Chains A and B, each alone.
Chain A
Amino acid sequence: MTHPVSEAHSLAGRLVGFDLPGGFDPPSVPLSDPEWAGFEAVVRAQRVQGVLAHAIEQGRWPSTARPAGRAATAHREAMASVLVLDQRLRALGPALDSAGIRWRVLKGPAIAHLDEPDPSWRVYGDLDLLVSGDDIAPTLDLLAGLGGERRYSRPSASFDRRFGKGASVPLPDGVEIDLHRTLALGPYGLALDPRVLLDLPTESFEVGGVRIEAMSRAGRFLHACYHAILGQELPRLSALRDLALTYPSDEDAAREVHHLARTFGGEAVMACAISTAASTLGWIPQGALARWAQHLEPHERDTRWLGAYRGPEASSRRRTLLAAEALPDVPSRIAYFGAVLVGLASDRARTAAANSIPTSMTPSAS
């Protein structure tokens, strides 16, 4: 289903191109009060408070005093939350290392420290960590030791290890840790070999004196493409900005990224992501990769797969069914559907158990 985009969302798209080639199309006069209210809500939801605050401060986004003050306050509040996340990341890193878990930080913290003009430009609301399938269980155990409890039902250890995208674990202090085994749910997530992700070169940065490893720029770019196109129907503006920031800087880097996308079976995802970011942000990507993306005609398989993530046929059920097409052989497909059925049966049993509790025994709201 195509989601209509509000005027405020379109305006936020014009903001998010700030500091990108060709992007950034500010209004000629300050917004009216009602326009600001809608715009601020979108900025907050899209996690681009940092971009707005800096654009106003640099005199590049017209604003009167009150909205400028609110933008600075919103940025300060967002950064307060970010520091709490960084504090958790600083503690988690050495704990994961001590447990012998190989991991990379994804998205927000990586983009903030490695790709934005200054870390204060990037807002994030949780911590995303890439680990291997074999390390999903030990990482969940480590997080359970911190009081974390997996958000959604656990299909099976085998599903986690071989087929799952990952797990979400909220901690008692409100910090949410998203574990990733691969880059997406469904067929595109299973089409790539996740071991390649962890074997990619890394780039590192410091958080409170602790060294944190992220994927290389090529890995960050591809992940941003996957997240923008396969994550939700309407791509988050911060994800589109991430991919524009990590877009290959020269033709050698472009060839590397293209090769990686081809290896992952994700060329159509990358092409769609580049086109979407360009049209939403007004960003003008340069070079052969952009020209290739503009002219790519998706294969029938990609049309079918992308349709499971975006458009009127998109659904979790469709992604689950099509995921089997990405598996290399019949035994894998049997194992996959077996694990899915085990998960469904487990869900049903949990639901039945919950429904069988007499109402006099259900906990009352506190």
Chain B
Amino acid sequence: MARLAHASGILQRRLTDGIILLGPGSTEPISLSGSAVVLWDTLDASSDEAQLISAMQQRFRGDPDRIASDVTWTLETFRRSGLIEVVDP
């Protein structure tokens, strides 16, 4: 599975209730809070989507299938916003 990492050149600031990010080439900052911040912080160059889903399922209580779909949806949002990139294994 493709490994994912934060895109290079991300601009960010820590907020008191989350973080705010601006991807390279984007004009619209995106703010993250709650579990989205945890996902962002968990994501590094050694992660693929399955590993991230597993990490979030261990971290949070709730329906595992629901957590998996939330992670997938959030990663897709990150992708569309230019915040993450696929890393060659």
Which residue on chain B has the smallest CB distance to residue A207? Answer: B11
- For chain A residues 71-127, which have a beta carbon within 8 Å of chain B? 72, 75-76, 79-80, 82-84, 86-87, 90, 118-120
B10 within 8 A of partner (CB): yes
Q: How far is the CB of B18 from chain A (nearest CB, A)?
A: 8
A82 x B15 contact (CB < 8 A): no
A80 x B20 contact (CB < 8 A): yes
Contact among B8, B13, B16, B17 for A83, CB-based, below 8 A:
B13
| Interface SS, A side | helix
Contact among B13, B14, B24 for A82, CB-based, below 8 A:
B13
A209 x B29 contact (CB < 8 A): no
Question: Which residues from A are CB-within-8-Å of B13?
Answer: 79, 82-83, 119-120
Question: Which residues from B are CB-within-8-Å of A75?
Answer: 15-16
Contact among A54, A72, A76, A83 for B22, CB-based, below 8 A:
A83
A53 within 8 A of partner (CB): yes
Q: How far is the CB of A212 from chain B (nearest CB, A)?
A: 12
Which residue on chain A has the smallest CB distance to residue B18? Answer: A76
A203 within 8 A of partner (CB): no
Given known pairs A84-B29, A207-B11, the reply for A72 and B24 (CB within 8 Å) is no
- For chain B residues 50-68, which have a beta carbon within 8 Å of chain A? none
Question: Which residues from A are CB-within-8-Å of B46?
Answer: none
- For chain B residues 1-44, which have a beta carbon within 8 Å of chain A? 8-17, 20-22, 24, 27, 29, 31
A290 within 8 A of partner (CB): no
For the complex of A and B, 9 pairs with smallest distance between CB atoms: A57-B16, A83-B22, A80-B29, A120-B13, A208-B9, A79-B13, A83-B11, A53-B16, A83-B29
The 11 listed contacts between A and B (C-beta, < 8 Å) are A53-B15, A72-B17, A76-B17, A80-B29, A83-B20, A83-B22, A86-B22, A87-B11, A87-B24, A90-B9, A173-B27
